Chain A
Amino acid sequence: MRRNSMIRIPKQRIVIFLGLIAAFLLFDAAPAPAAIQGITGASPNPVFNLTAKTGFISADDGNHIFVWGFADGDGAHNRGRTQYPGPTLIVNQNDNVTINLTNQLTVPISIIFPGQEGVNAQMVTGTGNLGLLTLEANPGETVRYIFQASEPGTYTYYSGTRSELQVEMGLFGALIVRPAMGANFAYNHADSAFDREYLFVLSEIDHRFHQLVRFGKTNQIDNTAFFPVYWFINGRAGFDTATRDFYPFLPSQPYGSFARMHPLERILVRMIGGGRDLHPFHLHGNHHRTIARDGRLLKGPTDQDLSFLAFTTAVGPGQTFDAIFTWTGENIGWDVYGHMDVDNPPTGNFPGPEDVDVNGNGFFDCADPTPAEAAVEFGGDHCKPFPVAIPDQKDLTFGPFWSGSPFLGASGALPPGEGGFNPTSGFLFMWHSHSEKELTSNNIFPGGMLTFGIVEHPSVPIP
């Protein structure tokens, strides 16, 4: 009996969280944040002061999990709190990057930067420890890593000391190197241009290990018995993923992953395998074009385009993928803007020369899209009516994201108490791990590695 009541709590929590999501979407007038949060270094010699320390994160089933995380040692980013994952470090190509890592844990730690060449390590304070992969900081010490970020792209960083435990505990993060070509490019190539970008760091947790570390029983951990039961995107489990960045109830999980976009925009999807397992990350709504892997653009020696379309990317641990996602509505079968088969409103000269009825259905035919309309439509579906008659409300079950209308940006009649979680009437698509068991949090569905992409009407401002 007691068990049952414990299971019910998370359900209530989900409802509360969903309510809060709606509340924030409706009323949260916080200043517009950029799409990818992180610490942007001062080019050309950015210095990042990171501190490794303990903290707790919140899973969506109500569990609090003890973690080791990197924090902004300057105290500015996320108020210097322990973060899971660590701060996203954003630098420019050819920057000379300095990372000072201060160890406030009780074990030696380090950071390695896969894909970066010539990383130079030295001690700032203390004697350090020559580790298996790099120079380590003993407890209380500060180690410095210096490298030139010579190639743009999406990268990851993580502990190179007893990584099987320390990555599991949370010592990992994202590194973004912006190309010389400009801020709206992922690489130095026109094919990598984007309108918006989002980051998806995928990870998992076996909370038994965290409990053992918490209670000083690290020596009882057998990493070969790794069996994760929590899955996260940017350190949050669904539906916490849909809440905004720096949401105050998730102080150690500052990064959301709610991807908002307008139709036809090029969305750069940066995917990183942060944990130990491979996660097939699946974007609903359209295929995405994978343009880069491990921080290298997929191009042949003479600029041959080696990018490819996919609807699922197998993001292996430690690997990074960049993809361009564009929601087109291609072949959706109806005009998502709801242009009707009638020239409406009548022009002042009604009936005028543009008011014709070729198909003889008694209504004047739909006008050709205006240039502004054509700019946000994929084409082919202009003026197509919604193909089914929406059943009577009594025959429907309502999801909280249903706006009452099949048209983008439009809402329709809803029964009392229904809807309301989609105030801008966008099209909501689940973006998630297609390893379906990862859509749970410690055996509770839904949760885990689950977030959303939402297509907004062009008139809806997106920060």
Chain B
Amino acid sequence: MNYLRTRKFRHLAVAIFFLITAMAGTSIAAEYWLQAANLNKTMPDGQVIPMWGFGECTSGFATCNPPTVPGPELVVPPGDNNLTVHLRNNLTGLFVEPVSIIIPGQFTTQAPVWIDPSTGTVTGTGSRPALDVTSRVRSLTHETAPGATQDYVWNNVKTGTYLYESGTHQQIQVPMGLYGAMRKDAAANQAYTPGATNPNTSYDSQVTLLFSEIDPAINNAVATNNYGPGKAMTSTNDYKPKYFLINGEPFSSGRGAISPTPAANPSDTILIRFLSAGIIDHVPVLHGSHMEILAENGNLYPFSKQQYSLLLAPGKTFDAIMTPANGGYIHVYDRRLFLTNAAASPGGMLTYITVGAANQLLTVTKAGAGTGKVVTTNLPGGIDCGLDCTENYVSGTMVGLKATANPGSAFAGWSGDAAGAGTTTTVAMNAAKTAIATFNVTGPSITLTSPNGAEIWQRGQTQTITWNFANNPGGFVRIQALKPTGLPVSVSFRTPVGTNGLGSFIWRIPATFRLTGSDIKIKITSTANATVTDTSDNAFTLNP
């Protein structure tokens, strides 16, 4: 009985396959040329992260796009059963190693690669070598050595949303950035074949949200060949991510495109594909409404679920649909609250799905002789002026702006389509608007930056006193240490004020320095103009 049934199904499957192949016309297989290569990713705080990424190449690796993290999205058209990835390993640098591609959830024959853990030499492929109890698996499938090219083929591609990633030395190659999204729809604009009790699988527009993290310590150790047995970092045991990315970018008010889907229209059904290539759990929350969760790991649920949140564990994928009531922006953020870039807030896993055409241009300009910057405080971000002073918004968006003056300048007020004298203002984007922020020059200034409170120093140490200055406070400064009572004690009579607005003084604190205690402050004064002066905001400690 079973045999017959299997046979029958096989015939049916073959028939469907030919039917679908015939329907799909010329396209019989999705084929990609990917290159694994090095890249440097700059975080919003300026930290540069060495990474490995996949870059898409034209047929035969004729030309290649720069590698990206995540890698290019691999799309298998509806009806195609085959996916072929030609992978070239172009990693360079102090440390390179073989790479590969696996797609958890998609079946293909894989031959694991075994190594001697002490030497790293390959001891076998496929099953564990006979009588060998010490070899370890380095790769879950065949490897592509540095400089080499290999093919990875899937002949029975399932519909759904999947994560592809390196299957080799995954504990570092995934954190290094070798991952991306892969998808195949059941039909045009239909994620899955509708289920009897889970029928709403069609969508008008779609967005992929791929969550991942970066621990700079691991990436730097790998890039500098300090990772591995006997080296400075021996494992990823102390994984402590500092940057939290959606589609490869942490949130930053002024950075790049503000939305992964500029195309969605109001009342469209949006398919959201959630993936995690990270190593820790995340909980994406859709702000402002529930969504209908259709599928998990590429498998359609028997019944969809209504939730506003997901437990997105490492390696997981979910498909959800939602239909926004209005145009505007839908926020998605990580409820595990990884919403910082290292220690800086805001940042991290926060993004916006644009609903409707972003066609109202906001232009920010700065006026006056002073200097400063203007950033958005709210919704879509997108403006960090001077770096990025224009952004298109969906009509009706209220954009909050905040002006911050540089030292030596003062914010004088808003004009154009923005109003008010306070540093924050709001612009309603129902038409193209211009916001003008005026910064005036104030007099010369010196601003002490260190020690500025809570430092613990000791006599006999060498410490650095630093300050900013603006508007020519004179060529030299006098530095003094003082307590709440008593006379100040000189640290330096005459020190150059510095260059480019920054000054410092290396203080070899005498072992016999007269003032000690937890209530010390530093005072810095222009020698040319005694009214230009600054003192530590809070007291620091100088131990005897």
Contact = CB atoms under 8 A, between A and B. Distances in A.
A294 B345 contact: no
Contacts of A112: 287
Contacts of A314: 311
Interface string A312-351: 0010111100000000000000000000000000000000
Contact of B283 (A132, A133, A222, A319): A319
Nearest to B397: A130
Interface stretch (B300-308, B408-416, B499-507): B300-308
A302 B241 CA distance: 44
28 contacts: A114-B287, A115-B290, A115-B308, A127-B424, A129-B424, A130-B377, A130-B379, A130-B399, A132-B381, A162-B339, A162-B346, A163-B333, A163-B339, A164-B337, A164-B348, A216-B538, A276-B337, A277-B336, A293-B307, A294-B307, A296-B290, A296-B305, A314-B311, A317-B337, A318-B283, A319-B283, A319-B307, A319-B311
A312 to B, nearest CB: 14
B240 interface: yes
Nearest to B378: A130
B306 A304 contact: no
Q: How large is the interface on A (under 10, 10 to 19, 20 to 34, 35 or more residues)?
A: 35 or more
A278 interface: yes
A294 B308 contact: yes
Nearest to A294: B307
A215 to B, nearest CB: 9
Contacts of B336: 276-277, 317
Interface in A75-127: 112, 114-119, 127
A463 interface: no
Interface residues of B, number: 45
A287 B490 CA distance: 74
| Interface residue SS majority, chain A | loop
A224 B400 contact: no
A316 B242 CA distance: 21
Given A223-B337, A294-B307, A317-B335, A304 B290 contact: no
Given A165-B345, A296-B306, A132 B240 contact: no
A352 interface: no
Given A132-B378, A276-B336, 18 more contacts: A112-B287, A118-B288, A130-B398, A130-B399, A131-B400, A132-B331, A132-B381, A162-B345, A162-B346, A163-B337, A217-B454, A224-B241, A276-B335, A278-B311, A294-B309, A296-B307, A301-B197, A314-B311
Nearest to B197: A300
A167 interface: yes
Contacts of A294: 290, 306-309
Interface string B215-248: 0000000000000000000000000111000000
Given A112-B287, A132-B378, A132-B379, A278 B281 contact: yes
A321 to B, nearest CB: 11
A318 B335 contact: yes
A398 to B, nearest CB: 42
A414 interface: no
B339 A316 contact: no
Instruction: From B337, B342, B346, name the one whose CB has the most chain A CB atoms within 10 angstroms.
Output: B337
B353 to A, nearest CB: 14
Contacts of A164: 337-340, 345, 348
A225 B333 CA distance: 19
B290 A131 contact: no
Contact of A117 (B240, B311, B325, B399): B325
A319 B282 CA distance: 12
A224 B343 contact: yes
